[in-house]
Amino acid sequence: MARSGGWRSRARVVRLLPTGGRVWVAVLVLLYAVQAVLVPAEIAVTGWLIGALPGALAAGGGTAEAAEAYRAVAALGAVLVAGQVVGPAVSLVRSHVRRRVDGALLERSQRALNLPVGLAHLHDPAVLDRLNLGGGAGSSNVFAPASPGEAAVGVLGRTATVASALLAGLILLRVSWPSAVAVLAASAAARRHGQRHHAAMYRRFKDLAGDYRRAGYTSSLATMPAAAKETRVFGLGDWLVDRYRRQWGEVTAEMAAVRADVRARTVRSYGLMAVAQAGAFVHLGVSAAGGRIGVGTLTAALWASLRLGSLAFFTSDDLRVEQGLVSLDAVEEIETLSAVAARAETVGAAPAAGLPSASIRFESVCFSYPGQDGPVLDGLDLEVPAGSSLAIVGANGAGKTTLVKLLARLYHPTAGRITVDGTDVAALDPAAWRRQLAVIFQDFARYELAAADNVGFGALALRHDRDALERAAARAGALGIVEGLPDGWSTPLSRQQPGGADLSGGEWQRVALARALLAVEAGARVLVLDEPTANLDVRAEAELFDSFLELTAGCTTLLVSHRFSTVRRAQRICVLDGGRVAELGSHDELMALGGRYASFYGLQSARFGAR
């Protein structure tokens, strides 16, 4: 991966420009070209005017000398007016191109993150660090506010600045070629040193990305509604402030030291340029004093020398390029890491429509989460006949939800395999297989979008079918909830959105269930309910399980729960323990067995008065 700085990095940035719109980029290039010419034109015309004024003043009005001065004034006015017009036009077009480039980069990031079938890469700290860096202006990191789009237009801006300085250098070259060569050489050397030091600074910043991300997380705990409730109730405000101050102080102190070193080195590198500039001024002054150049030529040459010397300095465009390159590096590294994760997966293409028609089998399945000691599942063997209902129970951490994630191919077994009608799920087309699944996870998504979207995402093909949405909502007991919203199906389910409304936990659970049931209506054959009553009260839970057979009719159903009293209606019950099947059978069979299920069921029945 190319590092920030250098022509190769700038070439990578320039290759982003077509995503800003070829016509818009062409207009921006044209405007920058005009802007590059205006500064040396202003220098030349100003020198012309100053050179013409003494003669015009001495000769008086109506003379050829006065006419010359008037022409110089008119030319200077035209240049200044053109600058006033071109400047705002550059800003407007530049902003448009930058937004389009950043939009294309954001799309690249999203596509890359969606490339792997599973989720493991989204837990990789390296990916998370680069996501924070790749956000550019949207990142939680205030040190690198520039985005790749800013870098792309910044390259054009810097090129225009360099071109303007070199054109000004031609003016100086005509007057004093030794001065022009000396100032150009010193400026180029100073710029090369400064660019190298700045690139090193931003590389160090990338190394600290994880520290910045962790500090940002601490800050979010005080502002995100989900966490802010507890931080206030438990009085964690001061502790969070102290922790954030410490984390942020550590990383910013290190970067401050790096920046101080860069400034010191850069200032030293400007010494040679200052000597060259002073030498040019002395040479030009001596030439003017000796009568070899006039006052107008002297003025233009001095100004041109200063403009040429500006090549040594880092401009705002230079900083945007360096900072934006950090973000671009992050996006490209996300693409690389995601591609590596995708290559590590087995992605089949076998059709999945109509599956399962015989059974789903877990064959000696083992699984461990990355970085976790010990397996969650350890040699799990389990068969689920098609069309049957299976409840999965067990203590917290027994692997119930993990089993569901493996079935949905969100993660992949570290050993063993899962088959559907004898075919390994790894050989199935992932998207086609997932269309056979209707899943409500315990931590289901609560989309801050319209109620119609919250249900319709279960089957995008039916998202605008109001009858289908209403049938799914009615089956889940959510239709009355939707009809009671201020704008019905169009109401955003968040008060943070205009016209939105919040739902209770139980209401959200019914909406999520409706989403899964819409997937069933669209043809999903496997219904997975992971703790579907966790947020329901006792009466609502009883009503849901009274309709259990109706909800699951025609589906292969997996019901995950830690409440033993709620799974009696399932045809079979699987007790997980130690990552394996400890007991398997109907409620009556397991009660007669007198093992773990019977023991836990008895404890919960006594506690909740279940019968």
- What domains sit in the chain, N to C, each tagged with a CATH number? 7-343 (1.20.1560.10)
Percent of the chain with pLDDT over 70: 95
* Average pLDDT score over residue span 8-37: 92
- pLDDT at residue 281 is higher than 60: yes
Residue 530: its H or E element = strand 526-530
- What's the pLDDT at 609? 53
Distances (CA, A) of 133 to 98, 123, 124: 17, 16, 15
Q: What angle do CA 446, 450, 453 make, to 5 degrees?
A: 75
- pLDDT at residue 16 is higher than 60: yes
- pLDDT at residue 526 is higher than 70: yes
> How high does pLDDT run on average in the chain?
88
For the CA atoms of the chain, what is the radius of gyration?
A: 35
Distances (CA, A) of 313 to 152, 188, 191, 281, 550: 19, 10, 6, 19, 74
Residue 316 Cα to chain centre, angstroms: 24
Q: Counting beta carbons within 10 angstroms of the beta carbon of residue 592, is it exposed (0 to 12), middle (13 to 18) or buried (19 or more)? A: exposed
- pLDDT at residue 459 is higher than 90: yes
Cα dihedral 359→364→370→373 (10° resolution)? 140
| Helix locations, 290-363, DSSP H | 295-309, 316-343
- pLDDT at residue 138 is higher than 90: no
- Amino acid in the structure at residue 610: A
- pLDDT at residue 468 is higher than 80: yes
* Average pLDDT score over residue span 382-397: 93
